[in-house]
Amino acid sequence: MLKFIFWLSFLTVFYTFFGYPMVLSAWRALRAKTIRKGRIFPSVSMVIAVYNEEKVIERKLADLLRLEYPPSLLEIILSSDGSTDRTEERIARWMEKSSGAPPVRLLKSSAHAGKAAALNRGVEHARGEIVLFSDARQLLDSISVLKLVSNFADPEVGAASGELILLERKNGEAAVGIGLYWRYEKWLRKMESEIDSTLGATGALYAIRKGLYEPIPADTILDDVLIPMRIVFKGYRAVFEPEARAYDLLSSRTRNEFVRKVRTLAGNYQLLWEVGALWSPKKNRLFFQYFSHKVARLIAPFMLVLLFFCNFFLLQGFYLVFLILQIIWYGLALWGGMSHEKAHAKAA
Partner 1 sequence: MKKRMRKLLKFPFTFVAMNGAAFVGLYSFIRKRKDVWLRSSEDEPGEPTTQTSAARSEERLRKVA
Cβ atoms of 203 and 223 within 8 Å: the answer is yes
Query: Phi then psi for 84, rounded to 5 degrees?
Result: -110, -5
- Radius of gyration in angstroms for the set of CA atoms belonging to the chain, rounded to a whole number: 22
Min dist. Cβ of residue 80 to partner 1 (A): 12
Q: Using CB under 8 A, which residues numbered 53 to 72 contact partner 1?
A: 53, 55-56, 59, 62-63, 66
Q: Which member of 7, 18, 187, 269 binds partner 1 (CB under 8 A)?
A: 269
Residue 162's identity, in one-letter code, is G
Q: How far apart (Å, rounded) are the C-alpha atoms in residues 236 and 213?
A: 12
Min dist. Cβ of residue 227 to partner 1 (A): 14
Min dist. Cβ of residue 329 to partner 1 (A): 6
Q: Using CB under 8 A, which residues numbered 327 to 346 contact partner 1?
A: 329-330, 332-337, 339-340, 343
- Which of 143/153 has CB closer to partner 1? 143
Q: How far apart (Å, rounded) are the C-alpha atoms in residues 185 and 179?
A: 10
Q: How far apart (Å, rounded) are the C-alpha atoms in residues 90 and 249?
A: 23
- Binding-site size for partner 1 (CB under 8 A) equals 75
Q: At what angle do helices 223-233 and 115-124 cross, to 10 degrees?
A: 50
In the three-class reduction of DSSP (H, G, I as helix; E, B as strand; rest coil), residue 210 is classed as helix
Residues written for the chain:
348
- Which of 153/165 has CB closer to partner 1? 165
Q: At what angle do helices 254-274 and 175-195 cross, to 10 degrees?
A: 30
- Which of 43/270 has CB closer to partner 1? 270
Q: Which member of 122, 158, 203, 228 binds partner 1 (CB under 8 A)?
A: 203
Min dist. Cβ of residue 10 to partner 1 (A): 15
Q: Which member of 31, 93, 234, 263 binds partner 1 (CB under 8 A)?
A: 263
- Which of 105/297 has CB closer to partner 1? 297
Q: Using CB under 8 A, which residues numbered 104 to 133 contact partner 1?
A: 114-116
Q: What angle do CA 166, 168, 170 make, to 5 degrees?
A: 155
Min dist. Cβ of residue 259 to partner 1 (A): 6
Q: 133-172 mask for partner 1 (x: CB under 8 A)?
A: --xxx-x-xx----------------------x-xxxx-x
Task: Please say whether the dihedral angle defined by the alpha carbons of residues 308, 310, 313 and 319, taken in this order, is positive or negative.
Answer: negative
Min dist. Cβ of residue 285 to partner 1 (A): 26
Q: Which of 97, 65, 288 is nearest to 197 (CA)?
A: 288
First-residue to last-residue Cα distance in the chain: 50
Min dist. Cβ of residue 244 to partner 1 (A): 12
Q: 6-45 mask for partner 1 (x: CB under 8 A)?
A: ----------------------------------------
Part of the chain binding partner 1 (CB under 8 A), chosen from 28-36, 37-45, 100-108, 263-271: 263-271
Min dist. Cβ of residue 196 to partner 1 (A): 26
Q: Which member of 304, 306, 314, 322 binds partner 1 (CB under 8 A)?
A: 304
User: Quick one: the chain helix, strand, coil %, rounded to 5?
Assistant: 55, 15, 30
The stretches of 219-311 forming alpha helices (DSSP H) are 223-233, 254-274, 287-290, 296-311
- Which of 206/236 has CB closer to partner 1? 206
Q: How far apart (Å, rounded) are the C-alpha atoms in residues 41 and 150?
A: 8
